[in-house]
């Protein structure tokens, strides 16, 4: 029978023969060459790579895209409006008083109105420069208008007569058609001669008519179209332009001819008083 000491020595020989560490000797593990960097925000650490991947995969809120886009749109719109007003501004004479322009015309007037090129009933070119130096009463309409149009044209004729006979003031009455497809030069001349031959009729290409209507903020739209026949919805306003081509008054359908003539007289007197001071 083997003693405990002999058994212990036999066990040690077997372990050494198998090249195994003894059970009581602590194991020494080799250090790893790769150390992952971590990011900690107070909680359990997370690998940096995993954090970046999650950050890339999560989309940004829409507010980060909407606000800059809105600011760029507003800035672009403001720039366009300013450029459009400067483009529409009627250039003034180089020197005050040149070409019959009053000395008080010293600044551009881009608010309402602008340059245009149309044709009168004699097919002569009419631009804004030909109106400079004179008071002008401008009306937008069309010869096929059934009710309001003829009353407004008759009102213009009455205003011209009252101004000349009662106040000794001469103005240039203009009738700008917004229906150039049907209102030719001959049609305009025949229509306006029934009211007052002094009313100047203007027509032109569709693009030119639309341009001047836009310059003077005139609304018009085709309605009740039946084949080639149609009506046009329009604002029916009259515009009073001073010698500087500034729109100083706007008269709607509610004004009578006497009211328009009196208002024009006041504007002319006010302008004369300011030019003498």
Render pLDDT for 185-216 as a digit per residue (tens, 0 to 9).
999 999 999 999 999 999 999 999 999 999 99
Neighbours of 150 (CB within 10 A): 15
Q: How far is CA 48 from the centre of its chain?
A: 50
- Selection from 108, 126, 109, 110 nearest residue 118 by Cα: 126
- The angle formed by the CA atoms of residues 249, 255 and 260, to the nearest 5 degrees, is 55
**What Å distances lie between residue 277 and 135, 169, 262, 271, 272, CA to CA?**
20, 21, 23, 10, 9
Does the annotation list 244 as a binding residue? Answer: no
Specify the pLDDT at position 160: 96
Number of Cβ atoms within 10 Å of the Cβ of 208: 16
Can you give the pLDDT at residue 274? 80
Task: Give the pLDDT score at 48.
Answer: 52
Distance CA 114, CA 97 (A): 20
Q: What is the pLDDT of residue 85?
A: 47
**With contact defined as beta carbons under 8 Å apart, do 264 and 138 qualify?**
no
- Provide the terminal-to-terminal Cα distance of the chain, rounded to the nearest Å: 144
As given in the structure block, the two tokens for residue 147 are 């009710």
Non-local (6+) Cβ contacts of 160 within 8 A are 137, 171, 173, 196, 198, 199
Domains and CATH numbers, the chain: 117-275 (3.40.30.10)
At 1 the pLDDT is 53
pLDDT tens per residue, the chain (277 residues)?
556 666 666 666 665 655 555 554 555 555 555 455 554 455 555 555 554 555 555 556 666 667 677 777 777 766 654 545 444 444 443 333 333 445 456 445 546 888 999 999 999 999 999 999 999 999 999 999 888 999 999 999 999 999 999 999 999 999 999 999 999 999 999 999 999 999 999 999 999 999 999 999 888 888 877 777 888 888 889 999 999 999 999 999 999 999 999 999 999 999 988 877 6
Q: Helix (H) and strand (E) counts for the chain?
A: 7, 11
Whole-number pLDDT of residue 88: 46
Q: Show the tokens assigned to 35.
A: 């150390």
Round to whole Å and give the CA distance between 187 and 71: 50
Alpha-carbon torsion angle 28, 30, 34, 39, nearest 10: 0
Query: Which pLDDT score is estimated for 59?
Result: 58
Task: Let me know the angle formed at the C-alpha of 81 by 75 and 82, rounded to the nearest 5 degrees.
Answer: 90
| Whether pTM exceeds 0.85 | no
Q: Which residues pair with 238 in a beta bridge?
A: 139, 251
């Amino acid at each position: 029978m083997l003693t405990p000491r002999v058994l212990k020595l036999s066990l040690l020989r077997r372990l050494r023969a198998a090249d195994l560490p003894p059970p009581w000797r602590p194991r020494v593990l080799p250090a790893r060459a790769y150390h992952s960097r971590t990011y900690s925000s107070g909680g359990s650490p997370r690998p940096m790579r995993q954090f970046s991947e999650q950050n890339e995969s999560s989309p940004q809120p829409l507010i980060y895209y909407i606000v800059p886009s809105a600011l760029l749109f507003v800035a672009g719109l403001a720039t366009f409006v300013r450029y459009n007003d400067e483009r529409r501004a009627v250039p003034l004479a180089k020197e005050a008083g040149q070409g019959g322009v009053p000395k008080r015309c010293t600044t551009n007037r881009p608010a309402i109105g602008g340059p245009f090129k149309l044709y009168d009933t004699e097919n002569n070119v009419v631009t804004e420069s030909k109106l400079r130096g004179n008071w002008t009463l401008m009306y937008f309409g069309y010869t096929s208008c059934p009710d309001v149009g003829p009353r407004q044209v008759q009102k213009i004729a009455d205003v011209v007569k009252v101004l000349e006979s009662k106040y000794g003031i001469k103005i240039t009455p203009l009738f700008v058609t917004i229906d150039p497809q049907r209102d030719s030069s001959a049609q305009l001349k025949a229509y306006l001669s029934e009211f007052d031959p002094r009313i100047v009729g203007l027509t032109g290409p569709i693009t030119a008519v639309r341009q001047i209507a836009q310059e003077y903020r005139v609304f018009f739209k085709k309605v009740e179209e039946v084949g080639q026949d149609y009506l046009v919805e329009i604002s029916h306003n009259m515009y009073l332009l001073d010698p500087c081509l500034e729109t100083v008054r706007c008269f709607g359908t509610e004004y009578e001819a006497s009211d328009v003539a009196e208002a024009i007289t006041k504007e002319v007197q006010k302008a004369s008083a300011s030019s003498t001071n």
